[in-house]
A and B are shown apart, each in its own frame.
Chain A
Amino acid sequence: MSKQKLVMVGNGMAGIRTIEELLKIAPDQYEITVFGAEPHPNYNRILLSPVLAGEMTVQEIILNDLDWYKSNGIKLHLGKKVDKIDRVKRQVIADDGTVESYDRILLATGSNPFVLPIPGNDLPGVIGYRDIKDTDDMIEAAKHHHHAVVIGGGLLGLEAANGLKLRGMDVTVVHLGPWLLERQLDENAGRMLQKSLEDRGLKFLLEKQTEALIAGESGRVAAVRFKDGMQIPAELVVMAVGIRPNSALAEASGIYCNRGVVVNDTMQTYDPKIYAVGECVNHRGTAYGLVAPLFEQAKVCANHLGNFGIGRYTGSVTSTKLKVTGIDLFSAGNFMGGPGTDEIVFNDAAGGVYKKLVIKDNRLVGGVLYGDTADGSWYFQLLRDGKDISDVRDHLLFGQSAISTGAGHQGQNKAAMMADSAEVCGCNGVTKGVIVRAIKENGLFTLDDVKKHTKAASSCGSCSGLVEQILASTIGGAYTPAASAKKPVCGCTDHSHDDVRKAIREQHLKSIPETMAFLEWKSPNGCEKCRPALNYYLISTWPHEAKDDPQSRFINERAHANIQKDGSYSVVPQILGGVTSVEQLRRIADVAEKYQVPTIKVTGGQRIDLLGVKKEDLPKMWADLGMPSGHAYGKSIRTVKTCVGSEHCRFGTQRSMEMGIKLEKMFFGMWSPHKVKLAVSGCPRNCAESGIKDVGVIGVDSGYELYIGGNGGIKTEVAQFLAKVQTDEEVMEYSAAFIQLYREEAHYLDRTCHYMERVGLDYIKNRIVEDADNRKALYARLLDALKDVKDPWAERVAAADKHEFEKLEV
């Protein structure tokens, strides 16, 4: 079958991003041709300001070099402007006569700077600020001339003014509005910004209307005159009063336009063969000028071009950062407030810090940060997620680190203030400098990109928040975190964890291939991230019905032992509640001796770990041990740690060892979204450390206190009080009910503390403490899921999965 022809007009960031997304999902569908009016391959337009300021070079901001086009089989026409689309013959015609026929067109013609309709606007020395050529012209002008006037005190205008100042010019910014950046800042923040820019030597004329640009003797612009008669010298005038969607080609071709090419939610224009993305587009009445929404459009558009037919673009909430080195400024959403909104304000004029958060119906709807923007991306995430902030309202203004519920160590460090040599990712030893360089050199925009290129945040993931902050402060407005509720499971799908669980439940999906087919997975059989998640969701939703797929499990869960750095394994037999016996110890000692185990270690979970075992020895060792698996290797129940309790301790109030053993027996063989650890202490001295366990039980004289969601791992998370109960049976019921709720609702690889952070303690109390029927039903479902559970070691001693442990020879 011959390929369809896709012609893209416009070679900028939105268009090329669409092509990249399309190549990912439908690499062979189209023969692609690209027209670019500029003589450059796709570059990062957002970074023109650092180029102007002399902080980066043009080479450094190229996103896709010519080799990229070649290796993806894309035909590229550079420096050719398309001036006609013949929709009858289905041809695109460029100004040099080049003709390309098409099956589909992607319009990505971007925008033009708006030029004030005043006398002298076409004089030499008057330029808009849009592309590499404009930037080069400004750099050139700065070498020969002294006075620059920037008309427009918006983001682009200020970045241009800052750049020209750094290049040695005397710069005046002229602005019609009452304060700078009035579309992004309130008056207070606008004044603070003005002051700090004035300190750098920039001059400002506010509420000034430009009347005319006046030529000098050479014919070049020489002065700017205002309506009030005032006149100032200017050999360079930069117009930065806004952009207009460039829809000239679409209009000339008879495609419906209204302040931009009008598209529907699938990015299709009124001609079904023609799609449009980027700044040239009018979507639901809005033309976006920031890059983050354009990337969202690109994703949707590629999906439809690739004939997948899912995904709609429904508009974006945008956030802004100014890329002037040394000035931290962030704004998002409805930052001005209005009827029905409350404002929380922090104003330290002398210290140069101003924060305003706008709240409506207990949700963050907007904000402005000046001077300290470290929490900008966190606020923006709260805003996009529409999260109820009533619990944290007291501390909201002080940022994420002031709120103790945040799991992981994100937010404790301030990305912008960190030194380049500071380590961000402790697992892989990645410094801030390495991350920033990778972002700039490789044109990275997402957390996933950074993970792939630098390995930061790709192991334990606790620095993800920090990496996101670094991304945000490096690329500014181009960075938009995905709303967390909608984060896809992995690159193989656009569906979130919740979507997948819902589909499995409602559609009675029983296998991985069935689930992937129903949800239109983009890869033939998933990847190492999604397959284990799917396998868990299937077996936890349909116990006894869905069949476990060993090939979709990480090796530890397949081999029922823990792989070590040299490829050997470790063996941890079950020691219920940490209570052992002479007989058990003797067996362990005998086995360790027989198999020459190099290291014997007591674990944190009160068991004995035999390290350095060859894989082929595992079944023989298990047979000789005659003890069940301790599940020390899985996303599963691990141990129940206990203190000696009232059996021996002079302070003990409850029989903690016995209680712990009962719990560990109940949970035996349980798979879960992540590991699950319990502890039982016999009195509030809490020697078993119940305060940092997924379920912590503390005996008191009148019964037991139950705590949930504790974690002693990456970030110490103190368990929260769930309920006080009287009897052992109640401890079992409440613990089982909570863990079953977590098993049914948590996302794969979320610990209980992450799950609780998402749903809130109140919700869990509602479902478990207040609703006794629901608690009993959850308890019953856990017991049902674990009935007939077999010891995996005994099964393998009896020859199950033999191929896993035997090597072949040739």
Chain B
Amino acid sequence: MSTTAIAQRVDARGLSCPLPIVRTAIAIKALNAGDLIEVLATDPGSTKDFTAWAKTTGHELIEQSVDDGVFRFVLKRK
């Protein structure tokens, strides 16, 4: 299971643009290549934002789900 363990969590629930992305960007800098980061957000714009951000930065968006208004993203550091 060590390959799928989440290395870092970012709780961006209740935060508005651009905080979910900015906090994730700061957090992901401290990780090693291939590490996974999990982000929780409630900003409805984050679905679009995280897809775009992953495309721009090259980090891989490997999981995306929504549960009761909370969006969850798992990204892999490039």
| A is bound by B | no
Chain B residues within 8 Å of A, Cβ to Cβ? none
